[in-house]
Amino acid sequence: MAKTKRDGYRVVHGGPRVRSTSVGINMTQEVWCPSPVGCVKLNCDAALTSDSYGVWGSSAWFKWSGDWLGVWMEASGIGRGSCEKACGSCVREKQVYGRMEIEVKGNSGIYGNKRVGDRQELWKIGRRVSKSEREMESLGTMLKHLDDLYPLLKLKMEANRAVKQIPLQPHWSFCYTVLHKVSRSFALVIQQLGPHIRDNVCVYYLVLRALDTVEDDPSIPTDVKVPILKTFHQHLYERDWHFSCGTKEDKKLMNQFHHVSTAFLELGKGCQEVIEEITQRMGAGMAKFICKEVETIDDYDEYCHYVSGLVGLGLSKLFHDSGLEDLAPESLSNTMGLLLEKMHIIRDYPEDIEEKTESRMFWPREIWSKYVNKLEDLKYEENSSKAVKCLNDMVTNSLIHVEDCLKYMSSLRDPAILRFCAIPQIVAIGTLALCYNNVEVFRSIVKMRRGLTAKVFDRTRTMSDVYGAFYEFSCILRSKVDKDDPNSTITLSRLDAIQKTCLHSGALNRRKSYMLDNESKHGPLVLFILLSVLGIIISKFVSRLAK
């Protein structure tokens, strides 16, 4: 058998059968091809199965059309009937294909004569999905939630309107264009702010996004990364400074950072001082945790403070500098960032565990060590019960910040600033509700469906809407609490406190439900538009098949 080359994987035309048998059977016409373009993540322990033949080979395979993707492993001496651990020396190179990234690591627990993981994971994780299939999947979701369509259309129109409002000056045009690329959701909430504060927040976000790109790039050696993080705030005043790192749109941001610096230098003095101060403090904190693991819950809170809590502090100062808001207490500003960051750390487990070393993961050892010996053990199917208990512990920890977040938002006076602050927080509590007691968090990224997110954008106008949304999502989370969970008493206590705060607001009877709407007042219009969209998608799908 030919060995895997570094400049490309073996391409196997034919692929495995749909049945759950050993991946590595019925493959023919082996040829070499250059590395394809794109990105697919494949976790070999979730994708490989073997019911009688052991695990074969030493190369990744896929059908050239992209319909199938998997990995062939070397399992020398492991044959029929063996249950020995294989995959001691798996393919370690990264190749790109589709939208995810192939990265197969050694010692991942592949066993001969034993099915490992769910066979459907091969479709979910490793299969390249065509645009037509994605459109049909989205259509299926809309058919289940017809009332999502109207908010989705409104959100799309709002996004188009925001793009048309991008300024013409080259540096500002770059800032708002790249903002839409690196974070469409934040771009929308930023651009609905008033003109006297919108530019300040846009530059603030891009500066901190650039700083985060440096911290997150594993290719930068520590002795290079740490000094850059500590001195990043000084480069804001250098019109020609840039540093190449990151990927995709983040790399574009870093390569053309001089546009951000130019925009920064046009801001008011007070705003510049706020951005510089927060950048300096955040960079120093990030540098600290480059060389420090998150061991305790206090470490966890400290890390979240540096990378997100400080963002909240800076925003409060920018709001105050604009004259639109009073200066909020630092403790409340900090907690706004902590809730968001903890949601992201929980949700992003499957991505982070594949891309980062354990020392660069931010689940605190104080929590996960109660359930497993290594953090990566949570992803294995045999540890699902322990993983879910650990997950629930993490979500329960994040709930402690909700009451202070509600207190912060209730003090805001400007409606646009309230929307800007509230929409991400509602998405955070909604995502935590989806993640709680959900083993899929360890298999793939769990997110709110697009239609539900569109409803959050559409229906978040006042503090009454915020209280209602938090109450509703806390009810959903509460319904998932298992009384046998070791942290259920604490979880229920924190949910009770959140719901009590929302009930005492007196606002719960003046809003529509996000999750419980079965009928839309726009029903006929929605159905007409949906049928039109369905006709367009089907015609495109048929025309592609004909080709």
Catalytic residues: 303, 347, 360, 420
Crossing angle between the packed helical segments 523-546 and 131-144, to the nearest 10 degrees:
160
User: How many Cα atoms occupy the beta-carbon half-sphere of 430 within 13 Å?
Assistant: 24
Q: How far apart are CA 515 and CA 147, in angstroms?
A: 10
Contact criterion met (CB below 8 Å) for 114 and 53: no
Q: How far apart are CA 62 and CA 60, in angstroms?
A: 7
The three-class DSSP label of residue 400 is: coil
| Residue 100 main-chain phi, psi, to 5 deg | -125, -175
Place of tokens 């790399």: 251
Tokens matching residue 170: 């080259």
In 3-state terms the chain splits into helix, strand, coil percentages (rounded to 5) of: 60, 5, 35
Q: How far apart are CA 172 and CA 286, in angstroms?
A: 28
- How many Cβ atoms are within 10 Å of 28's Cβ, its own excluded? 8
- How many Cβ atoms are within 10 Å of 216's Cβ, its own excluded? 17
Amino acid (one-letter) located at 25: I
The three-class DSSP label of residue 205 is: helix
Distance of CA 263 to the CA centre of its chain: 28
Tokens matching residue 158: 């709002």
- Please state whether beta strands 30-32 and 85-86 pair in parallel, antiparallel, or not at all (unpaired): unpaired
* Rg of the chain on CA atoms, in Å: 25
Transcribe 476-538 into DSSP letters. Answer: HHHHT--TTSTTHHHHHHHHHHHHHHHHHTT-TTSS--SSS--S-TTHHHHHHHHHHHHHHHH
- How many Cβ atoms are within 10 Å of 81's Cβ, its own excluded? 10
